[in-house]
Structure 1
Amino acid sequence: MVAAEELLPPSPPSLSSSSPLILGLQPSALVDHIVRVDWSLLAQIPGERGGSQPVAIEELEHILNELKTHILPSPDEPSPLRTIAGGSVANTLRGLATGFGISCGIIGACGDDEQGQLFVQNMNYSKVDLSRLRMKKGTTGQCVCLVEADGNRTMRPCLSSAVRLQHYELTREDVRGSKWLVLRYAIFNLESIRAAIRIAKQEGVSVSMDLASFEMVRNCRSQLLELLESGDIDLCFANEDEAAALVRDEEEVNPDVALEYLAKHCRWAVVTLGRDGCIVKHGKQVGKIVRVPAIGETHATDATGAGDLFASGFLYGLVKGLPLEDCCRVGSCSGGAVIRALGGEVQPENWQWMYKQMQIKDLTTPDLCKTYS
């Protein structure tokens, strides 16, 4: 294995003169352990099925030790357990770079351990710029992704002891020259998120934010509302559960109400509805809600990364100047591509599937689609 020190620039980074079009803030690098399991394991661990709840390292290790007696074998998967670079932002950037040919870079920190090396190698292979990723002495975050037979996934991240990029380490040079900054809402990264948004606005960089999980919205809602109502979030993604948690105090709680709230404060608002597609609204246009159905098969092998890859396709559409409906259709294609295999990384044959779906829908395909033909 190549040493991580050989793959990363020294910290602080020496930034290249050509800035990536899209940057992502992921203060702590993360490695995902993805495995198909029977439901009985989920009954033994704390938290709700289908969500994402932080755990201590002891609990993570306990879950990993229990996996061997709960793994569901799959003839379509060469290994029952996949370990890859993870995290919502990393998934979105990797999708943009490998599937759409958009120049991307990640801002954050990784540990000088085996997990950090894996994260670096995976993101390097995916052609994501790592010149803004600081290496620190310590451990890299990990997450176990438990996938049920129906494709539903339950995530248990462990970041409590992971190295992290602190808010005071961010500089205007980190984002200068880029067009978009992608981030994920998380209360434990709130200082870094606020600092990154402030710097992005100073540099004229648009900000996209994903609402992370219904637990994060439900438990840390007041800070989230403050961020949204600042007017500094240009694009916001929420799934149906996150949308419901966001507007829980309203007289009527449904995706349309959440979309109207988000569109009041964000230039673009998107609520994904799983197999029912998505709804989107551009700013404060009265009554102008775009509804786009899902594309392709409805059965999911693994829902991990579906929202992240939807964001990849939607952002590709935005930077290419596509109509809003087409941005949603591309997002639906890329989100549909990732659920066809384990993990938040689209396999080559599933990029081929995505390009075919895009061609059927008469959507603009990336130049690199010939690479996968």
Structure 2
Amino acid sequence: MGAEVALPQSQPPLVLGLQPSALVDHVARVHSSFLDHIPGERGGSIPVELGDLDSIVREVKIHAASFRHDHEYPSSHIKTLAGGSVANTIRGLISAFGISTGIIGACGDDQQAKLFVHNMTSNGVDLSRLRNKIGHTAQCVCLVDALGNRTMRPCLSNAVKVKAEELTKEDFKGSKWLVLRYAIFNLDVIQAAILLAKQEGLLVSLDLASFEMVRNFKQPLLELLDSGNIDLCFANEDEATELLRGEQNADPGTAVEFLAKYCQWAVVTLGPNGCIAKHGSEIARVPAIGEAKATDATGAGDLFASGFLYGVIKGLSLEECCKVGACSGGSVVRSLGGEVTLENRQWMYKQMQIKDLPTPDTSK
């Protein structure tokens, strides 16, 4: 049974993120050879059971200790932090941009739940809409090689999650934006959240999640877009291509035009090639910002979304929104995990100043 949720007494967060299951990431740099011993192909994301995840974490700790003095791997420990695309975006919005955020979801009664709560609370995220339940909190091992390529092994089975019928209007009252990530296994919760959010006048942002999710479940996605309830849509180049599979032109420009038929803002990120976006009749193309070599690409798209949303909330032009997103996405790849460190935040503010973008007041 879920515990009673204490609704916030203070001002509701400006931006809410729906992440039905709280998630903890275990991120570590590994030698490429280590990946040969991990079940499944290297790269990508393959679900594992809890026992397998624990086994991988143990192996990583032993592996990390063996190259502690390797100059290529100066930071060889496992970094454990709250994870998940939506959590990354809303954490970035408050910690790097000073925009108040809250999360809607559920966590278990285990050590991972404590880690999730501590990490999000210490960054200022409002957790009053996070349900506490008896059970496991979702986890993911993210292994990063010397080239910044990721091999992910998520453990989501049996993880607690918030259910569609548990959502209430009170969860959304007074907020301005709802941030979502497309996932077929959460579709009922997503649909319920959108319905309640729209009744409360919120704008809705949707991330397309992965090209596999778009490929395998395109029809429900098109129905979501066709509902007219998605105000802002983020897709990366692979997701955009998959969305237009079978069309004559499947380039990013065509994808942005396609998404813009359904959404006020349409954005396609292009990795090292920047992004292209459309709002109304306005189109913007902006190059990537930052080093060509990423330490870890985890969270690049999520933090791009943080920056872009900050720009929209502050009323910046479409091009400026893209530039802030590029600064934000470029900052997170400079270290492990989907969290902007203090050092990288300063780097991001410097890039924003160089480009004459308004830097946020995060002193509040």
Q: Give the TM-score of the pair, scaled to structure 1.
A: 0.91
For residues 142-197 of structure 1, the C-alpha deviation after alignment (integer angstroms, 9 at most, x for no partner) is 01112121112232221111110000000111011101000111111111000001
Residue number in structure 1 paired with 2:269: 272
TM alignment of 1:249-260, pairs within 5 A? 249-260=246-257
Partner Cα distance (2:134, 2:14) in 1? 29
Judged with a 3 Å threshold, the aligned counterparts in structure 2 of structure 1 residues 133 and 236 are, in CA distance, closer, same or farther, namely same
Partner Cα distance (2:37, 2:246) in 1? 32
Partner Cα distance (1:170, 1:257) in 2? 36
Unaligned runs of 5+ in 2: none
Of 311, 325, 338, the residue aligned with 2:305 is 311
- Is 63-72 or 154-163 further displaced after alignment? 63-72
TM alignment of 1:290-305, pairs within 5 A? 290-305=284-299
Residue number in structure 2 paired with 1:39: 32
* 1:134 and 2:128 correspond: no
* 1:109 and 2:106 correspond: yes
Is contact 1:238–1:272 with CA below 8 Å preserved after alignment? yes
Residue number in structure 1 paired with 2:147: 150
Partner Cα distance (1:267, 1:50) in 2? 34
> Structure 1 residue 65: deviation in Å?
4.0
Partner Cα distance (2:12, 2:96) in 1? 19
Residue number in structure 1 paired with 2:358: 364
Q: In structure 1, give the amino acid aligned to 2:253.
A: D
What RMSD over aligned residues (CA atoms) do the two structures have, in Å?
2.0
For residues 23-70 of structure 1, the C-alpha deviation after alignment (integer angstroms, 9 at most, x for no partner) is 000110000010112334445556665433433324423433443565
Residue number in structure 2 paired with 1:174: 171
Residue number in structure 2 paired with 1:21: 14
Residue number in structure 1 paired with 2:83: 86
Partner Cα distance (2:210, 2:44) in 1? 6
> Structure 1 residue 299: deviation in Å?
1.3
Partner Cα distance (2:309, 2:179) in 1? 10
Partner Cα distance (1:167, 1:219) in 2? 23
Partner Cα distance (1:117, 1:199) in 2? 29
> Structure 1 residue 78: deviation in Å?
4.0
- Is 17-26 or 74-83 further displaced after alignment? 74-83
* Identical-residue share of aligned pairs (%): 66
Q: In structure 2, give the amino acid aligned to 1:84.
A: L
Of 183, 186, 207, the residue aligned with 2:183 is 186
Residue number in structure 2 paired with 1:240: 237
Partner Cα distance (2:16, 2:165) in 1? 18
Secondary structure at the counterpart of residue 243 of structure 1: helix
Of 320, 323, 336, the residue aligned with 2:317 is 323
Residue number in structure 2 paired with 1:6: none
Q: In structure 1, give the amino acid aligned to 2:142.
A: C
> Structure 1 residue 307: deviation in Å?
0.5
Judged with a 3 Å threshold, the aligned counterparts in structure 2 of structure 1 residues 244 and 39 are, in CA distance, closer, same or farther, namely farther
Partner Cα distance (1:134, 1:112) in 2? 11
Unaligned runs of 5+ in 1: 1-8
**Length, aligned pairs only:** 359
Q: Give the TM-score of the pair, scaled to structure 2.
A: 0.93
Is contact 1:303–1:339 with CA below 8 Å preserved after alignment? yes
Is contact 1:51–1:213 with CA below 8 Å preserved after alignment? no
Secondary structure at the counterpart of residue 175 of structure 2: coil
Judged with a 3 Å threshold, the aligned counterparts in structure 2 of structure 1 residues 266 and 52 are, in CA distance, closer, same or farther, namely farther
